[in-house]
Every structure is written in C-alpha cells, then in structure tokens.
Structure 1
C-alpha cells in the first residue's frame, strides 16, 4: 500500500508560484555550440507572461463579493502616520523575531493561551497576506473559507510565515512583516508578487497538534520502547488521538482511523503494573475506541461501529457514548429492536440527554414510516398475486441467479417496489434493508433488478426462519479514505 502525504490536499503559499518553465527560447540550446562560440537566445515574446493562470487568478478575485473583501481591507498598508513608508512604519513598532537579522517582525494583536506551539506540530491557521500600498489581501484563507494546515519544519510555506507561526500560541492573532529574503525573494512571483517585495501577514492560530511525544517514541529502538512507562505510552497515545481528531474535523476519516488504531495497538500491547495504571489505561483506551466508532459511523460502517462500541462496554458497561453510538449503528442496519434496546439503556444512563431522546423519536418515526410502506407494498403485491400464480421461493434454485429475461411483474407492483427501494437509497441513516417476504420468483428478480439499477446489492437467505431478501448499499467513502 502506497503511503500518502497527509498534506497533499492542503493549499499552501507555494500554490501561488507558477510552474517551472523552459527558457522560453524559440530555437533551443545546443551544448556544443555553447562551449565553442556561445549562442544568442531568441526569446518567445510571451514566454514569461502569466497566460491562462494569470487570467484565472484575475477571474478568481472577481468572484469575491466586494463586501467580503471589505471586511479584510487593511489601511495600514496604504499610508503611515508620519513621512515614512507604510511598511517602514510598521517595522518600527514591531519586534524582530529573527535574532537581530531583521527578516521577520511581529506585533501581537490578540494574545494566545497556553504554551507556545511546539516544534514539528501540525498547525491550523487563518491568514491574510498584504503587499505594500495595497489594502486588499493578495491571498486570504478567510476569503476562501478554508484554513491552512501546515506541519512545522517541513517547509510547506514561505520561511517567514513558518517562523511567525512557530512563535505563536493557540487562539493568538498577530501581524508579521516578512522581508523579501524570507518571502518570495528578489524575483518575486509575477504577476501577484513584485520583485523584492515585503509581505504583511495577519495570522490567527485556530488549533495545533503536538507530535513531539509520538515522534520521540517512534525514534526509539525496539529494546528501549519496551522500557517506556505506561504514563509515557499514554502521552504518545494521546498525541495520536489528537492527530486523529484533527483529521476527523477535516472529514478525512481514513487518516483519522489510522491514528486511532495506531494508538489502540500501542496501548493494548503495554504491560500494567497496578490498579492505578489499569484505570489510566482503560480511560485512554475507551476514548480511542469511542472516537474510532464515531469515525466508523461517518464512514457508514455500522458493523465496525458495533465491534468498537462493544469493546468500550467491555471496559465500562455504563458508558453512555458507546451505548448511544451502538444504537445508531443498529438503526443504520435496520435492526430496530436492537437499536431501541440500546436507546432505552442510554436514556436510563442519561435521562436528561435531549440528543438521545431525539434519536428515540427519530427511530419511532422511522419504524412507523417503514411499516406504512411495507403495508402498502404487500397490499399491492398480494393484489397482483391474486390475479396470477406464484412459485415457492424456497424450492426454486433459479432465484439465486439474476436472470436477464423480461420480468413478468405488474406495473403496480414494480412501482411499489421502486418507490420503497428509492426511499431506502435516499435514507442516509440506513445501510441495509431486509424484506422478510415469501413471494414469487418474478417479484424477487424485480427487486434485484431495481436494486442493481440503483447501485445496490442483494442477497437471499433466511431471517428468523422466514425467507428474506436483503438490499445492501455499497460503502461510499470520501476520496482520501480510499487510501486507507
């Protein structure tokens, strides 16, 4: 399985850079001629123009509403209160954070909380970038409504921005004046960034994940890992859980799952010395299994949810979150009685929980709706059967083959089956539908054909000693989960 760069989906400052290009020479370069006599280059007139990319960028900026841009206008970039230039004035009231090199200057707008962001952390930020004498941002995650996520120390963004972010705390808002050597250099990045341009960034830290504990543990040789205390292992597991939570928040469920499973395996392979360690171990493990089950729920994998929630209940049988999530998983499978059983238990554990009671009301409504549809379906099917013979599905082996011959089912029955399966297909809270019916070969083949047209699978079998056909939706996961 190929590994996937966890940051490949994220925008970074280098998205603004044009791709590498050839020289733009019309006649090319011959190395032999270059060594003997030199050459004269004839440059294609438009070789270095922005071309289609520049036009796309102009069009992108036009799409922002004027009132949206107005919210991010910065008049400090236009003029100074004295005779100096705007950026010279800002530099005079900022602190140099590059040890006297004069490359990045900082001004705190809103102090943050907690400790400074640790080395190598994954940080989620919003920022606006401004050029001198331009009060509108040339780049803005806020206008895109998409925060930037970076791993410090990996050079994903320009050096000055990384230096600035590394100096911040959670929830802090600061301005950074970045000189050109720490920005886009002497050449700039035409057409957006002029040569030797300084950049003013206004940055807000939304969250960060500290990987230091996990990174340090991974670097240990195997013999040293065996000597690590449970408390240190729990710290590593917590770091993995926080990383998983960050991916979960970005709806990258496959990657969140990777971190949760890594932490679970680490904890489950550890040795416990006493009851105090056992309690710490249980608490950490339950959090991981609950988060993993919630991720499975988002992935529409109810059977995985059931497995992981039951693991939590083995550790603590009155865990409300696991009980409630288990009820949701059974509901997704269409197992109403099991879902109700765990909802009743969850209500007893947390009587004032409005979300649990809302789920119970939703389940009752779902059952009533299902029963109404089922009665209507059976009524029309039996009415049709009264006008023709039906075969015994349990003795006809041909039912297990999806025939291609024309189906001899009345339009009324076909419409009823189509309506029912379409409603099921559009119900995102259910993954499986069991139809406990004893009907004709033609009607079962009709169900198979309708399900196939809707992109669903069917299986035949027995449920509670009654012949049944199960309709199953495929797992439709977000693109990033396909790599898991």
Structure 2
C-alpha cells in the first residue's frame, strides 16, 4: 500500500518536457482525495476502510505511519520498521496538527493517505535539514487500534474523594481501559510498563468506597483479572515470590479459579516448592482434567520433584557413608 512504487513510476515517466506539462504526483493525488476541513489544508484518500466509530478526542492510538516529501522515495519519518509501534496519545505525542486532525476521521483498521498543506504540517520554517520550508507533505497512516484514554486521564486526575462521586460504570470503564493498556504492553513484552498499568488499576479499585454488596462484588470481579495478569507478569519478570503473592490474592477472590491455581503452581515450581506446586495443580486439574497446560506442568513438577528427592537421598547416603567410614589420617 506504500506510495513508494507510485512515486517511482512518476519519476521514471518524467522527462524535461513532461515536467513542464504533466501534473506532479501530489497534484494527481489531490484529484482522488476529499477535503477534510473545507479549506484545502487537509486532503484524505481512504485506501482500506476501517470499522466502528472514529478515533475519539484525546485517545491513545496504535498506528503505523510514514511521511513523504514530493518526489521522494524515502520517508522522512516512519514507524513501519518497528515490530511494535508506539501507542501515541493525541494532544501530546502527535505533534503534526494535520495528522492529529486526520486521525480523528479514521476508524480502527483503516489505512489512509493524507496531504497536509504547510499550515497543517511544518509551516513556513519547515524542519531543516529534512523538510524544507512551506512544504506540502504526504502521510500514510494505518490505525491498528485505539484506546479512549481521555476518561482514564480524567479519573486518575481526581482525588479519591472525587472518584467516589462518579458512577460506578464510568469508574469501571477507566479501570478496564487501564487493563487494556497493560495487556497491550504485555503483548509487546514490555512487562514493567504492563505491571505499572495493572497496579494503577488495582489502586483505583482499592480506593473506591463501597456503597453496597453489589458494588463490592463488582469491584472484586474487576480485581480478579488484574491479579491474574500481575501474577503472570511477575513470572515473566522472574519474580516468583511476587507472582505467588498475586496468585494468592486472586484465590482469595475465587478459591476455585483454575488460572490462579495454575499461576501459583508455576510460582511454586520456580521456587522449588514441589509439594505446594503439585497441590495447586492437582486442584486445577480437578476443574479442568483435560487441560494440556495443566497436565504438562504437573508432569514437569513430578519430574523435578523426583530428581530433587533422588539428589537428597544421594546426599544423605553419601553423608552416612562418610560418617561410618572416616578417612584415616
């Protein structure tokens, strides 16, 4: 979907005479684009439509993008080389005015091209040495996902007293968005960032004053996946003691939760506490007898436990022999 091939074609076709008469690449693109604001400053071409509502104000957007000058095959700015593009917050991380306004017209999964006049891009000064003054620029943008983080910003900026005054549904929406941020970081192997988001969500839930038994149940329901996610994140960070702590907190909410039992089994295995690991995993197996992960980990624990007992037996046997047959001096 890159414009590189299109520009290369234009450049090959040009010769000295054509340069005087043929429209430029950007001029040809303009004929296929729609005017976003009505002033000609931002033109848009949808290459691949998206789904759902457009990107909200002040949200955080996960996207690939590339910026081009006319007649240039090389992007002056791009994230397409990144395995995990950054989650960029509107109003803070997106510094090109036209790009921010253009994103507000896009939907999840959409791929579009934009032409930005200088007043919506880098202005009369440009951005030397890469972008000359008064340059019109092309951006290709693919929105992978977005999170409505404006609500999170509003809630986290409140004092605990103020947070208690907002509707529970609004409060839990903010908590779930934080968990979604954590999940996004986790999937990118950014475990410290994921942990910070999960713990931030837990803190919000703990600070909420309970109004009724129903609200208490709703808050516990929201806490459970956060503790499970924290337990797994600590395992990835090689912190089995902390993983066990969060796994046990999940079990305090739901003592029969198979994921919590499995997490605790994993943590106990890392701590070489094989009997405790077996106990947790056997309890999990009773709930899900055909679960491949549970059964595989149980076999691993049994093997490690047997090896540990064999080594212990060998150690005591050797120690007994040395005491019975001391070396002669």
Q: Shorter chain as normaliser: what TM range? A: 0.7 to 0.9
TM-score by length of 2: 0.83
Choose the corresponding residue for 1:296, options 213, 229, 234: 234
Alpha-carbon distance in 1 for matches of 2:76, 2:305: 54
Aligned residues of 1:230 and 1:270 also touching (Cα < 8 A)? no
Distance in 2 (CA, whole Å) between partners of 1:367 and 1:373 is: 10
Q: 1:341 to 1:134 in 2, by over 3 A?
A: same
The answer (yes or no) to whether the contact 1:230–1:272 under 8 Å persists in 2 is no
Say if 1:221 and 1:356 are closer, same or farther in 2 by CA, change over 3 A.
Answer: closer
Distance 2:117 2:56 in 1: 24
Q: Is the 8 A contact 1:104 1:182 kept in 2?
A: yes
> Is residue 2:300 matched to residue 1:362?
yes
Q: Deviations 1:385-423 (Å, cap 9, x if unpaired)?
A: 86759xxxxxxxxxxxxxxxxxxxxxxxxxxxxxxxxxx
**CA distance in 2 between partners of 1:308 and 1:130 (Å):** 48
TM-score, normalising length from structure 1? Answer: 0.58
Counterpart Cα distance in 2 of 1:262 and 1:72: 39
DSSP-derived class of the 2:66 partner: strand
Q: Does the 8 Å CA contact 1:282/1:315 hold for their aligned counterparts?
A: yes
1:76 matched to 2:30: no
Match of 2:192 among 254, 266, 273: 254
**Alpha-carbon distance, 1:363 to partner:** 2.6
Residue 311 (structure 1) shift: 1.6
1:132-154 CA-partner distances (Å, limit 9, x unpaired): 22334344322343413311101
Residue 269 of structure 1 is matched in structure 2 by 207
Q: Provide, for residues 312-358 of structure 1, a one-character-per-residue CA deviation record: whole Å limited to 9, x for no partner.
A: 11211121111111111111111111111111111221223222222
1:85 and 2:1 are equivalent in the alignment: no
1:128 match: 66
Contact between 1:72 and 1:137, CA under 8 Å: does it hold in 2? no
Once the two structures are superposed, residues 84-142 of structure 1 have per-residue CA deviations (whole angstroms, 9 ceiling, x without a partner) of 21111212221222x22322222222222222222222222112332222334344322
Change (3 A) 1:283 1:89: same
Show the 5 A alignment for 1:443-462. Answer: none
The answer as to 2:96 corresponding to 1:166 is no
Residues 217-254 of structure 1: per-residue CA shift (max 9 Å, x gap): 24446654332232232122212222222333333333
Aligned pair in 2 of structure 1 residues 123, 375: CA closer, same or farther (>3 Å)?
farther
Distance 1:352 1:283 in 2: 26
Map Cα deviations across residues 241-291 of structure 1 (whole Å, 9 max, x no partner).
222223333333333323222322322333444454343222111111112
Change (3 A) 1:342 1:161: same
Gaps of 5+ in 2: 14-20
- Classify 1:315/1:223 alpha carbon distance in 2 versus 1 (closer, same or farther; 3 Å): closer
Q: Could you tell me which residue of structure 2 aligns to residue 94 of structure 1?
A: 33
CA contact (8 A) 2:164 2:209 kept: no
How many aligned residue pairs are there?
318
Most deviating of 261-270 and 321-330: 261-270
Structure 1 residues not aligned, in runs of 5+? 1-70, 390-484
1:73–1:137 contact (8 Å) kept in structure 2: no
Give how far 1:373 is off: 6.1
Runs of 4+ in 1 over 4 A off after TM superposition: 219-223, 368-389
Per the alignment, residue 17 of structure 2 pairs with none
Match of 2:122 in 1: 184
Q: Aligned pair in 2 of structure 1 residues 223, 314: CA closer, same or farther (>3 Å)?
A: closer
Cα root mean square deviation, aligned: 3.1
2 CA distance for matches of 1:103 and 1:376?
80
1:164-218 CA-to-partner distances (Å, cap 9, x unmatched) read 2233222221111222333333343444334433222221122222222222224
Range that drifts further, 206-215 or 305-314: 206-215
